[in-house]
Amino acid sequence: MEANKKETTFQVAGDWSVQLKQLKQKFPLLTNVDLKFEKGKEEDLIERLVIKLNKKRPEVIELLRQIQMYKS
């Protein structure tokens, strides 16, 4: 179950404003409201993206992880 938890949890690291810009470039339909992030409230962000992008939770988490790794 621990491996499954790792796949379905996410924590924002790095400069969120840079990641936000990358997400908006990749998905122009996303708004600042969709991408609003408060530290410790990653779940709220993920749920908004699941709905807006019509993707499953693991897909959204993987997308966020890829954006974090890109960084520039």
pLDDT in tens, 10-68: 888 888 999 999 999 999 999 999 999 998 899 999 999 999 999 999 999 999 999 98
Q: What is the pTM of this model?
A: 0.81
Q: Are 70 and 18 a contacting pair, CB within 8 Å?
A: no
Residue 7 has pLDDT above 70, yes or no: no
- Output the pLDDT for position 48: 97
Indicate the DSSP class of residue 3.
Answer: H
63 within 8 A of 50, measured Cβ to Cβ: no
Domain regions of the chain by residue span? 2-70
